[in-house]
Amino acid sequence: MITLQDYFGDKPHPTEYNLNALTLLYRVNNLIAAYTTDTGKMPEINPITGSQVSGSKGGDGGFRLPTSTTGSSKSAHKLGMAIDLYDHGEHLDKWLDAKPDALIKYDLYREEPASTVNWLHLSSRKPLSGKRTFKP
Hey, what domains does the chain have and what are their CATH numbers? 4-134 (3.30.1380.10)
pLDDT digits (tens, 9 = 90+) for 50-82: 999 998 877 899 999 999 999 888 999 999 999
Of 114, 123, 127, nearest to 85 by C-alpha is 123
Sheet hosting strand 82-86, strand order edge to edge: 82-86, 119-123, 109-111, 133-134
Query: pTM for this structure?
Result: 0.95
| pLDDT, averaged across the chain | 95
Please say whether the beta carbons of 27 and 124 come within 8 A: yes
